[in-house]
Chain A
Amino acid sequence: MNLQLVSAPTPMAAPELARGEPHVALRNVSLVYGGGDDQTLAVDRVTMQVAKGEFVAVVGPSGCGKSTLMKLVTGLLPATTGGVAVDGRVVDRPIKGVGMAFQNSTLMPWRTTLRNVMLPLEIVQPFKRERRRRRSEHVARAERLLESVGLGGFGRKYPWELSGGMQQRANLCRALVHEPRLLMLDEPFAALDAFTREELWGVMQDLWMRQRFSAVLVTHDLREAVYLADTVYVMSKRPGRIIHERRVNLPRPRTLAGSFEPEFIGIVHGLRDKISEARA
């Protein structure tokens, strides 16, 4: 594979600051897996921004490096070239206190749902320091959050006693209990049935409107992206490049009924065409 494109720096485009201060900024970020003759270019010169409190979705054909992008933003993977900045600071190690939710819920089977949700409070400061002194406050906080996603009273159950949809709700609670300013979602609803999935879009939107964190959602569900996001980025197939950026200016809160309105459907179709081009 010809990797010269990666190493030759391209002139940086003037940062687009129309949407306010960027929370996350990626400039010409590329990632090469492996070494020697076995190199794979996974992400190719991606430039994108997430404004403070913005909900961004990244869509694209499977295997296009969407999940890699998430690891780049959180510093779990170092970029081969280009720069990642969060809050104006260069990311060169895993950044702390980010909320994360994956397709499989990664709840710990040996902890009750409540104790699972409270996990970040045992790790992230200042909660960790106060975890003994303010234990009852922390419990109340986790219980409130569970309540708000419709899991009131389920805190004492173990995750494996809950349905897939309930596990994913608890997973969102765990990702948000420490009120992170940045939430990373890697196809969190992909394993759920269609009804549960659409229900959880509403839950997710409620949580976001209440806490107003910045969010990056990786998904291959275009309706999900348009329902939740302020900006949708379309990635090409591997090596992943951003080929399209679409603002979604539909009013909030968005509803399922709204997702069948012509304007909504128009945006979804527009994105679908771009993806078809990307797959061609």
Chain B
Amino acid sequence: MSTAAAKRVRQQIMPWLITAVLLALWEILTRASGVSNVVLPPPSEIGQAMIRYHALITQHALQTLLTTMIGFALALAAGILIGLAIGASSEVYRGVYPLLVAFNAIPKVALIPLFVLWCGIGAIPAVLTAFTLALFPIVVNVATGVATIEPEMEDVMRSLGARRDEILVKVGIPRAMPYLFASLKVAITLAFVGSVISETVASNDGIGFLLMGAAARFEVSLVFAGLVVVAIMAVVAYAICEYVETRMAHWAFRARAG
């Protein structure tokens, strides 16, 4: 095996190795220190809880996955439209941007009571919370991509006689694509945060609800099992977004690599 190939293999193994080492340390330390399972259960306990409650966990995880994905999809559609509208016109950009920043500064948890008031408890507040959290990074990135067209590029287009909508379609949108795909990774993670938080206070379904219930019953290994499942779903979704990013805007990556 060449050294380059060996290095690649080493790089791929590294994250797994570090995870394994951390889990082993955790296991050893919790057992050696004799800390109670109700405070911090060792990984083996958490694993057992995952197996024991797998039907329950799966049911709630699917619910969380569903609300997250719906919220994310809505944020994607709305984010692209709002981002294009904002980025395409400097007046709209200047007018709406402060509002967006203010909107983003509101802690989204504070909106959940409103959502409950409007829609009742359940899946809808979770979807809405995921949506509001995921929306901002998408809007900002798309708007930035469109608004930062090089002035020379715009001069070329204008001197060819291109209309504003033609400049948007031929330059603005393709240019915004890498920005959009870069925002998806952030947005999908935030969408999970949103739906789980909402489920903890305003739902009878989902991982968030499972966590609250388990904690109330001092089933701490089940709490951790739920956290692990959310983390796994988020990592997988993140990886998918990253894959889509490199595939869809390959020119941005290769152009950067030179």
* Residues in chain A within 8 A of chain B (CB atoms): 71, 74, 76, 94-100, 102, 104, 106, 108-111, 119-120, 122-124, 158, 160, 178, 184
Contact = CB atoms under 8 A, between A and B. Distances in A.
Contact of B251 (A94, A106, A110, A120): A110
User: Which interface class (under 10, 10 to 19, 20 to 34, 35 or more) fits B?
Assistant: 20 to 34
A196 B162 CA distance: 32
A71 B155 contact: yes
A109 B250 CA distance: 10
Contacts of B255: 109, 158, 160
Contacts, number: 64
Interface string B156-198: 1111111000100011001101000000000000000000000
B157 A123 contact: yes
A108 B157 contact: no
Interface of B: 150, 152-153, 155-162, 166, 170-171, 174-175, 177, 249, 251-252, 254-255, 258
A123 B162 contact: yes
A110 B181 CA distance: 15
B258 A106 contact: no
A100 B155 contact: yes
Contact of B152 (A74, A95, A102, A120): A102
B153 A106 contact: yes
A157 to B, nearest CB: 11
Given A106-B150, A108-B174, A110-B174, A94 B158 contact: yes
A110 B160 contact: no
Contacts of A123: 157, 160-162, 166, 170
Contacts of A119: 160, 170
A160 B159 contact: no
A97 B161 contact: yes
B159 A95 contact: yes
B160 A97 contact: yes
Contact of A106 (B152, B166, B170, B174): B152
Contacts of B160: 96-98, 100, 119-120, 123-124, 178
A106 B258 CA distance: 16
B183 to A, nearest CB: 18
B152 A108 contact: no
B133 to A, nearest CB: 30
A111 B153 CA distance: 14
The residue among A106, A120, A124 with the most chain B CB atoms within 10 A of its own CB is: A106
A154 to B, nearest CB: 16
A88 B252 CA distance: 44
Contact of A74 (B150, B159, B249): B159
Given A122-B170, A123-B161, A158-B251, 8 more contacts: A74-B155, A76-B158, A102-B156, A106-B156, A109-B255, A119-B160, A119-B170, A158-B254
Contacts of B249: 110
Nearest to A103: B152
B165 to A, nearest CB: 12
B178 to A, nearest CB: 9
Contacts of A122: 170
Contact of B254 (A99, A102, A104, A160): A160
A110 B177 contact: yes
Contacts of A74: 155, 159
A184 B159 contact: yes
B161 A96 contact: yes
B175 to A, nearest CB: 8
Contact of B159 (A98, A109, A110, A158): A98
A119 B166 CA distance: 11
B189 to A, nearest CB: 27
Nearest to B256: A160
A108 B159 contact: no
Given A109-B255, A122-B170, A104 B152 contact: yes
A74 B162 CA distance: 14
A205 B206 CA distance: 71
Pairs of residues from A and B, 10 with the lowest C-beta to C-beta distance, nearest first: A96-B161, A160-B255, A98-B159, A109-B255, A123-B160, A110-B174, A102-B152, A94-B158, A110-B251, A106-B152
Contacts of B175: 110
A106 B150 CA distance: 8
A110 B177 CA distance: 10
B151 to A, nearest CB: 10
A96 B254 CA distance: 34
B164 to A, nearest CB: 12
Contacts of B159: 74, 76, 94-96, 98-100, 184
